[in-house]
Amino acid sequence: GYRVSLQGNFFGRNDTYMTFPEYNPRKHIKLDPPMDIQSNATASKCQIWWSVGNAPWYLADILQYELQYKEYSMSWEVALNKTLLSSLPQVEIEAAELRSGIAYTARVRCKVSENEISYHSQWSEWSQTTVFQRADVPKVSGKILNTKTMQYVFIPLSFGTLLYLFWSCKFSSRRQKASPALTFPRQLLSFSRSIVCTMGILR
């Protein structure tokens, strides 16, 4: 601890004023703001991270952070605040909290955790800002959906029809004088061509 006093010449006489009779620096800390804040936004979430390399190593694991973010065009007075429980220099924002197509900006500050008894600090100044925007979820074309649906229905139906033709030709060949080797391959060839043409249209 320290004793802090103020000395000066006031109205022609020297006086000493005791400002802090017992001052402990570890109870009056103000850290530098976090550095190198960066962000990466996807369609599901936005990740924000930063560095506290300017903080003493013995405080790094007992820091807490406050994140502030807002729409880029709005004032900081209407920004949303998140006090982070983890001492890790990172945070995630769910996409549901962000509006699609809107640019956002965020900043962060730090101090010693409220649960720490050996040290005490006030909030640092705010860091520099990072700008991010939620990525839009790609929309599947209705035409593609219809094509895939037709494929899922058409392929099993084609095999069923092919099986039906096979058994029909097998039984009818017994009643006809024509050779089965000539009857069934022609029907099969004709049906195969129709399948190939239909699949080409679907693609």
CATH 2.60.40.10 domain residues, the chain: 31-134
* Tens digit of each residue's pLDDT (9 = 90 or more) over 88-130: 999 999 999 999 889 999 999 999 999 899 999 999 999 999 9
Q: Are 20 and 35 in contact (CB under 8 A)?
A: no
CA 196/CA 193 separation, integer angstroms: 5
- Rounded Cα–Cα distance for residues 127 and 66 (Å): 11
Fold of the domain built from segment(s) 31-134: Immunoglobulin-like (2.60.40)
pTM of the model: 0.61
Q: If pLDDT is split at 50, 70 and 90, which confidence band does 178 have?
A: very low
pLDDT of the residue at 169: 64
Average pLDDT, the chain: 80
User: CA-CA distances (angstroms) from residue 52 to 41, 42, 66, 85, 121?
Assistant: 22, 25, 13, 16, 15
- What is the token pair recorded at 148? 């895939």
Is the pLDDT higher at 139 or at 88?
A: 88
CA–CA gap between residue 127 and residue 37 (Å, rounded): 8
